[in-house]
Chain A
């Protein structure tokens, strides 16, 4: 039994993950080092694995400093910050953590729908400011049950949102690249038509060239002054400037947003609105899911070093 394989961890993502890595591998904690360059140079020959996340970049420059690197294990589902081409060139395996976060993201979409339509956060503020005894009943809000829900993108997360919304007797329709057979929901081939026929729009699609700014002024106007938008996809799916205008001018009923075009910047015009809910990209941020992601990231490394098939390779 030889020494435990060396694994470089770029940042302190989660103590549970760090502890797990430390128990199974020789851990090289990069964030603890004052001289990171020196540290990498010193330990380059021993580092065979690397753990990254959405907050770090694994580019050619870094890869060049790690001649013995065999596997990059991403603690995330997105690998847009990993130079996949360079990894392929070097024969470096790349794994991520899909599926484990589907439920959390779908839960969050429903949470944002309910919180914005029923003004949960605004009413909570009302109570904490002592308004209830002084001003009486909170104003009436919008019912969610029974309304028409349009889902943009019907992947795993979109389907999970639909399943939940069905239990609220919502009438579900969707937009996707193409109609999906065997699905009991109405398909629309443009987001505009979808918005014309929906009381709420939930965005769950991937960010691509086609989906960038797919929700703009026309779509927002189609949703209308009693319509609600929820975005758990990516900020740039929505034309944020138009969204802010629509909300300021009362052309849109309200919005629940977990993502923004220029995170962590959130348009200040929204900070005082009662009909919006603003979250700092918490999509999959629960103990259960982050632990599951950590377990998966570690399992991929273990499988690799044991010569077994990777669990969730993405290249």
Chain B
């Protein structure tokens, strides 16, 4: 029985070991001439592992006439051409839930690290400056009890809310529609949410509607004592406006795990004390990555044995 062919865009050694017993792996990253490789093996490729940050666009899909399933690592599918997949009857799965806790943990971690100057104070100690100062040169901002606005109240947004409640935060949110039965205040626009929040945490998916949702007006509404945390996608924020707002001190600080042009991070931010900059790692813990890879394989297994997909984003 021929093992189904699965194309891998990126090198993930542990993952390959999981796949190889059941699948014929086509390692795209190893090929010097990717176009030719795809052309050569097109007839054999029935599945594709879409890794974080890799594009699965119409151009790629067109080169894979036998493609039946795209299995994405992670929860975001903004780089998969869903329209094209639907057209072709290609199933798309992602890995929701697995990374929810880690992502929510990181959102709180970024809020605290930014508001309490954790990285800045740690830098000061490592430079040997503590003995030279009588007091830490500036006070930080208290997080407990403040007004937290969450943009997007999906699994991750809810998990952030649950944690923030334990800090006595007053929670409000923006979502496509109000959600019933929640003890949080709903705002229909992100501007209203920002006006009524001390901190804004972005946990929404990246769509046409949410692209540059946070721009100059929203940042000004957040204000010079306000903090922004982004664990969603860089493009939810107008990054140029964010940099300007930080340079001009029109917001108090920002904790960012994502950027518009990863891995590029605006250099104006590199020397700021009131920002925390992370390389897109909100759900990259040992536990979670293992869980993600296992779920990807389980979805492939289900598809190729004619069983229902575990976590379909788009069913075939």
Q: Which residue of A lies closest to B53 (CB)?
A: A137
Q: Which residue of B lies closest to A160 (CB)?
A: B144
Q: Which residue of A lies closest to B103 (CB)?
A: A145
Inter-subunit contact B141/A124 (CB<8 Å): no
Inter-subunit contact B118/A143 (CB<8 Å): no
Between B124, B125, B128, the greatest number of chain A beta carbons within 10 A of the residue's beta carbon is seen for B125
In angstroms, Cα B116 to Cα A107, docked, is 9
B143 within 8 A of A: yes
Inter-subunit contact A145/B105 (CB<8 Å): yes
B122 within 8 A of A: yes
Shortest CB-to-CB span from A74 to chain B, Å, is 16
A289 within 8 A of B: yes
Enumerate chain A residues within 8 angstroms of B106, measured Cβ to Cβ.
114, 118
Enumerate chain A residues within 8 angstroms of B279, measured Cβ to Cβ.
123, 126-127, 131-132, 137-138
A286 within 8 A of B: yes
B181 within 8 A of A: no
B136 within 8 A of A: yes
Q: Please tell me which stretch of A39-47, A273-281, A303-311 contacts chain B, meaning at least 4 of its Cβ atoms lie within 8 angstroms of it.
A: A273-281
Given the known A-B contacts A121-B118, A128-B277, A138-B284, are A167 and B162 also in contact in the complex, defined by CB atoms under 8 Å? yes
Counting chain B residues whose Cβ lies within 8 A of the other chain, the interface size class is: 35 or more
Enumerate chain A residues within 8 angstroms of B118, measured Cβ to Cβ.
111-112, 115, 120-121, 277, 279
B263 within 8 A of A: yes
Across the interface, A120 reaches (CB within 8 A) one of B109, B123, B168, namely B109
In angstroms, Cα B281 to Cα A127, docked, is 12
A315 within 8 A of B: no
Enumerate chain B residues within 8 angstroms of A280, measured Cβ to Cβ.
121, 124-125, 130, 133, 136
Write the B110-136 contact mask toward A (1 if CB under 8 angstroms, else 0): 101100111101111110101101111
Q: Which residue of A lies closest to B278 (CB)?
A: A123
Inter-subunit contact B165/A167 (CB<8 Å): yes
Inter-subunit contact A145/B270 (CB<8 Å): no
Given the known A-B contacts A103-B168, A143-B101, are A118 and B285 also in contact in the complex, defined by CB atoms under 8 Å? yes
Identify which of residues 104-143 in chain A touch chain B, using a CB-to-CB cut-off of 8 Å.
Answer: 104, 106-108, 110-112, 114-115, 118, 120-121, 123-128, 131-133, 136-138, 140-143
Q: What would be 9 A-B contacts, judged by CB atoms less than 8 Å apart?
A: A118-B109, A120-B113, A128-B270, A128-B277, A132-B263, A138-B279, A271-B125, A271-B126, A282-B121
